[in-house]
A and B are shown apart, each in its own frame.
Chain A
């Protein structure tokens, strides 16, 4: 028997493309945010609320991934910002190549913010870097406060956990403190915010969080112009 050393990352090709995308976003001053959650946690509703609050002159766009249908893109296009659907046709996550292809024929070069709405899935999207500045894990209060312990890789890799559907809190046995404790257990540095797109609670804090992430990108955009 002969042992040959291979030493290769299985997702090396994905990581290579993601690195290219990240460089491109940084050079353009585009903040790219990768939204990940289980199906039905409120990714599209969050984006609807976010786009509704944007000014017409804001350079914001959305790439939205689904296994089938372009329902999400139709919902999001109503706000007048560029939205593109990536239909994965069975694949349970977006990968960097899908994002690269989607951006190839798209006016993405002067964007301030690019939201990527991943396929609804708390497992697979964790493995695929899309070149984003930050992953955001959404957890709705109807799902249970132990989700961070059940799906640690997603919460471990996310910069922010956004607890959604806060308006339903009185009706479900979801313990906010417990959810925060569980998230910090698998990722001590994770930031945590709560939001309800129905009552508007936490919407301002969400906007402030995005603005804070934009700071280094805004400087990069400025530097590229000067």
Chain B
């Protein structure tokens, strides 16, 4: 259950970004989570919602893009997506251990309303 700590870091990052954007209301934060990041998206959603209740972030949503494990073949150099833990290059069959994706835990973007909250009537 380290999702609560991760949710807190996300909320802090959003608050920092918001202060730079002149007090606009946040709508959505976009995350990229690799399937091997060790983070459960549903638990993170739950933690994030609980955490932002009655704060300036209340009501905003978390959008998670799940990222597959991907490798670059050590033999032919082709990038490929690992499905169901098959690490064999579909082109030349070489088993690859050089993973380039699947461990992401990144905040990609933040969506805010066009108008600063203070100017809303």
- Chain A interface residues toward B at CB < 8 A: 1-11, 13, 91-93, 123-124, 126-128, 149, 152-154, 156-157, 185-189
A187 to B10, CA, bound (A): 30
The contact size tier of chain B is: 35 or more
A156 to B37, CA, bound (A): 10
* CB-defined contacts of A154 to chain B, threshold 8 Å: 38
* CB-defined contacts of B103 to chain A, threshold 8 Å: 153, 157
**B38–A8 contact, CB under 8 A?**
no
A154 to B97, CA, bound (A): 15
**B17–A4 contact, CB under 8 A?**
yes
**A10–B105 contact, CB under 8 A?**
yes
Query: A4 to nearest B CB, angstroms?
Result: 5
Q: Does B24 contact A (CB under 8 A)?
A: yes
Of A7, A124, A127, which is within 8 A of B105 by CB?
A: A127
Residue of A nearest to B95 (CB): A188
**B38–A7 contact, CB under 8 A?**
no
Residue of B nearest to A189 (CB): B97
Of A6, A92, A93, A152, which is within 8 A of B109 by CB?
A: A6
**B37–A153 contact, CB under 8 A?**
yes
A1 to B13, CA, bound (A): 19
Residue of B nearest to A156 (CB): B36
22 A–B pairs (Cβ distance < 8 Å), ordered by A: A1-B27, A1-B111, A2-B24, A2-B113, A3-B111, A4-B112, A5-B109, A6-B13, A6-B17, A6-B108, A7-B107, A10-B106, A93-B2, A124-B1, A126-B38, A127-B37, A128-B2, A157-B103, A185-B85, A187-B97, A188-B96, A189-B97
Interface digits, B8-22 against A, CB 8 Å rule (1 contact, 0 not)? 011001000100010
A2 to B37, CA, bound (A): 28
**A6–B110 contact, CB under 8 A?**
yes
Of B2, B17, B108, which is within 8 A of A127 by CB?
A: B2
A10 to B11, CA, bound (A): 10
Interface centre among A13, A93, A156 (most CB of B within 10 A): A156
Of A1, A10, A152, A156, which is within 8 A of B10 by CB?
A: A10
**A152–B85 contact, CB under 8 A?**
yes
Interface digits, B57-86 against A, CB 8 Å rule (1 contact, 0 not)? 000000000000100000000000000010
**A11–B85 contact, CB under 8 A?**
no
Query: A134 to nearest B CB, angstroms?
Result: 14
**A11–B6 contact, CB under 8 A?**
yes
Query: B114 to nearest A CB, angstroms?
Result: 6
Query: B1 to nearest A CB, angstroms?
Result: 6
Interface centre among A6, A124, A127, A153 (most CB of B within 10 A): A6
**B107–A8 contact, CB under 8 A?**
yes
